Amino acid sequence: KMYTRRLLYRAVGIAAMLALVLGFSLSLLVSEEEEVGLVSFTAPVGQKAEVSLPDGTKVWLNSGTRLRYPVKFTGDVRFVELSGEAYFDVKRDEALPFVVKTSRSEVMVLGTEFCVKDYVNQVNQTTLVSGSVSVKDFRGQSYVIVPGQQVCIDQDSSRVLEVETLYFTSWKDGYFMFDQATLERIMDELARWYNFDYFFANAEARNMMLTARIKKYDNIDTVLDILSRTGDIRFSRKGNTITIVSR
């Protein structure tokens, strides 16, 4: 019975979102754009920031992320723009859908928790923690997903994956988490937080796969020391540049 009830809740959530889609065809560096009533909020590099929107929605911004939102939500939609990565806990309002616009997607919800990631030269990702969301890619294709699913959008295609959401939301709670991620991807994440440059001395190091859960320490050297103990890699640092080589 519990399983049947869970399936029923999921079906109802998806049906409600599909109906909504069919009927619907920005530090802490804060600046207010008075002429259009918008606020632009940017989280500093190496920090995350929390923003409370006018409707009670809470948003956590990852390092360097920019969020634009109105001083007051008006009209038929609660609309915000995102550049970077953010975790949303949306205040439920069935009369006013909440829409997050990125460079390659629009995510529409009524009230739920999800993470959106949109960085240049990386796959655009929407990861659902609870509730139901509709994601429309830049080609106009829409996807309705349920908790534990993720929409990935790149230049060639869009697809829905089954994922462990913790690996994509742990940054909000102060951790880096990687599951069989390439060292190149890991260094991208670290560089965004600690603001450094890096290069690989050989291809073997670039493609090395690692699984790790690392606290966001104040000093990058602590993180590099932990990583060097999890694989056959060595780091050397000169000023703001880090060189990676396989042992």
Which pLDDT tens digit goes with each residue over 104-129? 999 999 889 999 999 988 999 999 99
**pLDDT at residue 206 tops 70:** yes
**pLDDT at residue 19 tops 70:** no
**pLDDT at residue 219 tops 70:** yes
pLDDT in tens, 59-70: 999 999 999 999
The pLDDT of 68-95, averaged and rounded, is: 95
Please give the mean pLDDT across all residues of the chain.
86
pLDDT in tens, 221-232: 999 999 988 768
Alpha helices, DSSP H, located in 40-182? 166-169
pLDDT at res. 230? 75
Q: What are phi and psi of 184, to 5 degrees?
A: -65, -45
pLDDT at res. 218? 83
SS (H, E, C) 193-238: HHCCEEEECCHHHHCCEEEEEEECCCCHHHHHHHHHCCCCEEEEEE
0.85 surpassed by pTM: no
Closest by Cα among 86, 98, 84 to 60 = 86
Closest by Cα among 172, 153, 174, 152 to 162 = 152
When pLDDT is cut at 50, 70 and 90, the band that residue 36 belongs to is low
Place of tokens 């937080």: 193
